[in-house]
Structure 1
Amino acid sequence: MEKVIIVARKADFSEDWCRRLRGPIADELLALGLPGVAVNVRDEPVRDSMLQLTTLDPPAAAVISLWTQQYYGEQVRAAIALLEGESDSAAAYLVTESTPMPPPDPGDGQRTPGLANVALLRRPADLDQATWLQRWHLNHTQVAIDTQATFGYTQNVVVRALTDNAPVIDGIVEELFPDGAVSDPLVFYGAADQADLADRVGKMVASVSAFGANQNLDTVPTSRYVFRSPFVRCTAATG
């Protein structure tokens, strides 16, 4: 099983566009027979999030995750073409996935409660790949869990881009937070008060700075919709 992430960029990500992505477009992706489909889109519940950073123009407005048997197969090619037709641009990336905190999957296209914050990371030029991964995965992961109100945490390392002229992205992170995190830093960090908030923010800033995630990044506030999970297995009745 392989995972492909498509970053869809759109200057005008209207609510109609968001509904189309999580409606008819999601249906078309499912019809391709992909083992897994999830759509993260910057729709009304998260549109005014305090977490909005972008280096891309037009900005990332949706992040679509596909699980497939072949990243180079017809299913993925058709999915890329479909999303290119719906967006100003759509860049696809082959990734490896780690889930330090597996996210809940309501399934059937229902919105996962909360804010799904997606970060597009770039590795600093002065850090080699091994050092970058060490600082991100082995040093930072527990800090992120301990200092934030996270209830789902997925790390994707980009293996390579699958589309021409794709923006350089080295890592794609998705973290799930309570609904109140859209506008309240205390909720986002799970802090008891302002002093606790300052302590948590300080620890996070020091940790992300060590692997360059404090600069040259995009944060995309999204709602998460899981339409098909590749990890759900049906067990046949016996006896």
Structure 2
Amino acid sequence: MEKVIAVLRRADADDEWCARQRGPVAEALLAAGVPGLTVNVRDSAVRHSLMTLTTLDPPVAAVVSLWTQQCYGEQTAAALRLLAGECERFAAYLVTESVPLPAPLEIGSRTTGLANIALLRRPAELDQATWLDRWQLNHTQVAIDTQSTFGYTQNWVVRALTPDAPGIAGIVEELFPIEAVSDIKAFFGAADDGDLQDRIGRMVASTTAFGANENIDTVPTSRYVFKHPFS
């Protein structure tokens, strides 16, 4: 089983477009028989999150995760063609998935809270092994300890599956309480201003060590799990 993450970019992705991705488009992907499918859309429920960072133009409007028996098979190719037709710019990546903090499964409906997705780049001065160690071995527990996450998934990008895909090294999926959209204390799970500054300081020190303090996209989304490949 392989996991493929598709990144859909579009400047005018309104709620009608988002509804189409989690409606007819998701239904078409399920009808094609994909073993697993999650659709994340940047809709009005989360669009104005305080923690949004954007380097890509047009910005990321949706992120679709699908599981397949063959990332190079016709089923995947057809799915990617369908998704590419929904946006201005499109990229897909083969990833390995690690789940330090499993999220509660809410199949077929909007997952509770804010699903924040981060696109990470590896700095040129860090070799791959060092970057992975600093991200996965050193940073993972810091991220969980300093934020109000109740679901945390790391996707290491093995390779791009589409031409001219932006250079992305890792894709992080984190779940937060919905209050985190507009309340920075809720995002970090901080009790007061002092606690907030301490948590931010630890987080920044940790992300700086592997270059995730800059050149990063963080995309606030609503998450819809339609089919889980391992349940």
TM-score of Structure 1 vs Structure 2, range by shorter chain: over 0.9
Displacement after TM superposition at 1:74 (Å): 1.1
Structure 2 equivalent of residue 55 of structure 1: 55
C-alpha deviation, 1:173, in angstroms: 0.2
Aligned to 1:22: 22
1:42-83 alpha-carbon deviations (Å, 9 max, x no partner): 011101111211111101111100001000011110111001
Aligned pair 1:70/2:65, yes or no? Answer: no
How far did 1:145 drift?
0.5
Residue in 2 that maps onto 1:226 = 225
Match of 1:167 in 2: 166
- 1:102 correspondence with 2:102: yes
Q: What's 1:129 paired with?
A: 128
Distance in 2 separating the partners of 1:97 and 1:193 = 34
Q: Deviations over 1:170-204 (max 9, x none)?
A: 00001000010001011001100000000000000
Task: State the match for 1:32 in structure 2.
Answer: 32
- CA offset digits 1:101-150 (Å, max 9, x no partner): 01122112x00000000000000000000000110000000000111000
The CA distance in 2 between the partners of 1:147 and 1:55, in whole Å, is 25
SS, match of residue 86 in structure 1: coil
> What letter is aligned with 1:171?
G
Instruction: Tell me how far apart the structure 2 counterparts of residues 197 and 115 of structure 1 sit (CA, whole Å).
Output: 19
Distance 1:65 1:150 in 2: 20
SS at match of 2:111: strand
CA distance in 1: counterparts of 2:100 and 2:212, whole angstroms: 18
Q: Does residue 42 of structure 1 match 2:42? A: yes
Amino acid at match of 1:214: N
SS in 1 for 2:85: helix
- What runs of 5+ residues in structure 2 fail to find an aligned partner? none
Between the aligned residues of both structures, percent identity stands at: 69
Hey, what does 1:237 align to over in structure 2? none
Q: TM-score by structure 1 length?
A: 0.96
What is the number of equivalent residue pairs in this alignment?
Answer: 231
CA distance in 1, matches of 2:204, 2:129: 21
For the residue of structure 2 that corresponds to 1:134, the secondary structure is: helix
Distance in 2 of aligned mates of 1:158 and 1:105 = 24
1:206 aligns with 2:205: yes
Distance between the aligned counterparts of 2:27 and 2:120, measured in 1? 29
Rounded to whole Å, the distance in 2 between the matches of 1:99 and 1:74 is: 28
Match of 2:80 in 1: 80
CA RMSD of aligned residues (A): 0.6
CA distance in 2, matches of 1:2, 1:102: 18
Partner of 1:113, secondary structure, is coil
Moved more, 47-56 or 187-196: 47-56
2: distance between equivalents of 1:130 and 1:87?
34
Q: Give the Cα–Cα distance (whole angstroms) in 2 for the partners of residues 68 and 23 of structure 1.
A: 20
